[in-house]
């Protein structure tokens, strides 16, 4: 198959994936541009256009600061998450644009909106994230999980009704992960009200 046909197939796959994960047209455009830049005659050998399209969507979500997890993209693309993450690393190494690897901010906003929490609680959750990053406890953690715990922690500090079950429902992050991140944040952040 020639590269133009592969690009066309990849673009269609990107459109399907972004629709399935409810990402906006900006992600579709960015992912399509990334796919065309990295998926060439030389690099396409041995690399599935479906997996590269999924990796392009994953990287585009990071670039555009759209809170979609790798797990959601992998599920929509029907690929293993570990394989998607490996291809995403390759895609990032091929593009000339630095990609913010760890940014829980958009996830904080999404979860706070979904739970109907106050602006003060949202701001406090952002502060918890910032302090956690500054204190070095975020390294190697999922941005979605870190954000879910920060929202739970902030709601707890502000006495707003928000349970681990509710956070789990809106984020898809396991309650065990929420509890673990929450405990780590509580140890280094303390009472930041």
Residue 165 has pLDDT above 90, yes or no: yes
How many whole angstroms separate alpha carbon 4 and alpha carbon 7?
5
Residue 98 has pLDDT above 80, yes or no: no
* Span 69-94, pLDDT tens digits: 888 999 999 999 899 988 888 888 88
How many whole angstroms separate alpha carbon 41 and alpha carbon 49?
12
What Rg do the C-alpha atoms of the chain give, in angstroms?
Answer: 18
Q: Where does the pLDDT of residue 111 fall: very low under 50, low under 70, confident under 90, or very high at 90 and above?
A: very high
Q: Identify the weakest region by mean pLDDT among 37-41, 106-110, 169-173, 181-185.
A: 37-41
Task: Read off the CATH number of the domain in which 174 is found.
Answer: 1.10.472.10
Residue 192 has pLDDT above 60, yes or no: no
- In which domain, by residue range, is 45 found? 3-94
How many whole angstroms separate alpha carbon 181 and alpha carbon 113?
20
The residue from 94, 118, 148 where one domain ends is: 94
Which residue, 71, 83, 74, is CA-closest to 145? 71
Number of structural domains the chain divides into: 2
Which residue, 185, 62, 65, is CA-closest to 125? 185
The residue from 94, 129, 154 where one domain ends is: 94
Six token digits for residue 127: 């502060």
* Span 1-59, pLDDT tens digits: 677 788 888 899 999 999 999 888 888 999 998 898 887 777 766 678 889 999 999 98
Q: Where does the pLDDT of residue 182 fall: very low under 50, low under 70, confident under 90, or very high at 90 and above?
A: very high
The residue from 40, 73, 94 where one domain ends is: 94
10 and 46 share one domain: yes
**3-state SS, residue 108:** helix
How many whole angstroms separate alpha carbon 155 and alpha carbon 125?
8
127 and 172 share one domain: yes
pTM of the model: 0.62
Q: Please answer whether residues 69 and 172 qualify as being in contact, where contact means their C-beta atoms are separated by less than 8 angstroms.
A: yes
How many whole angstroms separate alpha carbon 41 and alpha carbon 2?
8
């Amino acid at each position: 198959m020639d590269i133009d046909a592969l690009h066309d197939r990849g673009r269609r796959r990107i459109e399907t994936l972004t629709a399935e994960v409810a990402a906006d047209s900006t992600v579709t455009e960015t992912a399509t541009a990334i796919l065309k830049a990295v998926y060439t005659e030389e690099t396409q050998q041995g690399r599935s256009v479906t997996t590269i399209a999924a990796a392009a969507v994953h990287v585009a979500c990071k670039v555009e600061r759209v809170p979609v997890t790798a797990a959601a993209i992998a599920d929509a693309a029907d690929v293993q998450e570990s394989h998607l993450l490996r291809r995403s690393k390759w895609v990032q190494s091929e593009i000339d644009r630095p990609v913010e690897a760890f940014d829980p901010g958009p996830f904080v906003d999404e979860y706070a909106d979904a739970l109907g929490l106050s602006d003060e609680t949202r701001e406090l959750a952002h502060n918890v994230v910032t302090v956690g990053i500054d204190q070095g406890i975020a390294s190697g953690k999922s941005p979605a999980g870190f954000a879910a715990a920060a929202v739970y922690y902030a709601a707890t500090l502000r006495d707003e009704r928000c349970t681990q079950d509710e956070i789990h429902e809106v984020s898809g992050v396991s309650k065990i992960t929420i509890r673990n991140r929450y405990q780590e944040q509580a140890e280094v952040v303390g009472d930041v009200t």
